[in-house]
Homo-oligomer: A and B are copies of this chain.
């Protein structure tokens, strides 16, 4: 097939998978790291930072935006991209629910 059977899973599982999938590419990790480290919103600098063609970077931005991990405000000529902190808090919470279990003594 090729299409994920999302119907069979909980909304939570699907949402966590969506976040994780969006982060599942080194270019997108790099973009997120860059956005997290900058204290201002960033536009075309990302194209200079990521060693991929502009069209490819734009596509990665789109995927991050669709997953909800970043926001993009049009600002005159350019677009101001930034972290969507609320979504990241949600992501963090979901992952912490999983990480919690690691503290249990039984870990084979």
Interface range on chain A (Cβ under 8 Å from partner): 35 or more
The DSSP consensus for interface residues of chain A is helix
A47 within 8 A of B: no
Chain A residues near B (Cβ < 8 Å): 4-6, 8-10, 13-14, 16-18, 20-30, 32-33, 36-37, 39-41, 50-52, 71, 73, 80, 82-83, 85, 88-89, 92, 95, 98-99, 101-102, 104, 106-108
The residue of chain B having its C-beta at the shortest distance from the C-beta of A108 within the complex is B82
Known: A23-B20, A29-B17. A5 touches B52 (CB 8 A): yes
Known: A98-B36, A107-B83. A9 touches B24 (CB 8 A): no
